[in-house]
Amino acid sequence: MNVIKKYKCLSWIFALVVLLVSVSSAHAHLKWFVDESQLQAHLYKNLVSYALAWVGITGVFILLSLILDRLFPKISSPWEPKRIEKYATSILSVSLGASLLISALDGSLFSMNIKNTGALNFALMLEGFIGLSLIFGLAVRQASVLLICLWLVAAIIVGWVVTLENLWILGAAIFFLLRGRPLLRYSHEDLFSVFDNEISQAHAISFLRIFIGANLIFLGFSEKIMVPELGLAFLQEHHWNFMAALGVPWFTDELFVFSAGAVEIILGLFLLAGWAVRLTAAALAILFLIPPFFMGAEEMIGHIPHISIVVMLLLFGRGQSSRVACSAVVDLAKNAYGLYLCGRLARR
């Protein structure tokens, strides 16, 4: 009976999360569909009220997530079945590679909000090459290093803000640097093979979780809360404020945009902290799957790798803590450097 009550409580909380996420579908990348050159600056009329309300809601959800993690450890706990992990990692590699290749052919770097203006020709060629490497499983770890370098170069060329809106790219690149491509590959890794034995899947997936969580937090601020005119322009063309349509007149478009950003930040915070990870991933799956039905193929293509990452989190949980994962990588780097120095001394 106690178990039944626990699962009933879980189902109600999940329904509440889904409701909040549906508010946030206003949506993950507003810059893909809004012409920023035509926007006029907008100041919130009730910023303090909105902020205080969502701070309170965030506190409640943090408390609930801690309780749920205590009652249902499997909501977040790591799971590392070798056979499934190999297929899931390989599928994620293909989906990320396909996304990069499609973006390169479309003249976009990482996403549609970084368009080529002439300065990114070589970057797009490199993006397409990395995409093909990830698709065919050809030197995936080396391609991951190139992807990290490309992300850093993009930050210098097009600016840090727009590049940080694609922070998940960095997390995916680190993940594949650590895990490589277990299956469906044309060549074995000839560099960084030491990672296979020293870094577990639970360590690697932590970087996926941390970086996509940080990405959501950054997007919540950069595309919604800090720039409400983006969301307001989007809502003028796409009437997604269902709260007003349901007879809640005080739930204005302005509040809807702020709430969208707040929910995105909450979801990102939960992933970053490793709280109720599978429940959060399920809410994100809904967030990423609903908009394509209304916005078309362009939105679906842009979210393919995001959905794949969410599936990884649903399957494998939070992985290790950020401290443990980073410590393992640092220790491995120190050991590798020590071996390198010993090799040089031996050759002398």
In a domain, 123, yes or no: no
Q: Would the pLDDT of 12 be above 60?
A: no
Cβ–Cβ under 8 Å, residues 127 and 150 = yes
In a domain, 48, yes or no: yes
Q: What is the pLDDT of residues 244-276, one digit of tens each?
A: 667 777 778 888 888 888 999 999 999 999 999
Give 347's pLDDT tier (boundaries 50, 70, 90): low
* Domain span at 235: 1-74+200-316
In a domain, 189, yes or no: no
Q: What is the pLDDT of residues 282-315, one digit of tens each?
A: 998 888 777 666 665 566 666 788 888 998 999 8
Q: What is the pLDDT of residues 204-260, one digit of tens each?
A: 899 999 999 999 999 989 888 888 887 777 777 767 667 766 777 777 888 888 888
Q: Count CA within 13 A, CB hemisphere, residue 73.
A: 4
Q: What is the pLDDT of residue 343?
A: 64
In a domain, 140, yes or no: no
Q: Would the pLDDT of 338 be above 80?
A: no
Question: In the beta sheet, which residues pair with residue 108?
Answer: 115
The least confident of 54-68, 116-130, 134-148, 332-346 is 332-346
Give 197's pLDDT tier (boundaries 50, 70, 90): low
Q: What is the pTM of this model?
A: 0.81
Q: Would the pLDDT of 121 be above 50?
A: yes
Q: How confident is the model over 148-162, as a mean pLDDT?
A: 90
Tokens coding 90 = 């390989």
Q: What is the pLDDT of residue 35?
A: 53
Question: In the beta sheet, which residues pair with residue 115?
Answer: 108
Give the total number of structural domains in the chain. Answer: 1
Q: What is the pLDDT of residue 330?
A: 79
The least confident of 18-27, 41-50, 249-258, 287-296 is 18-27
Q: What is the pLDDT of residue 189?
A: 59
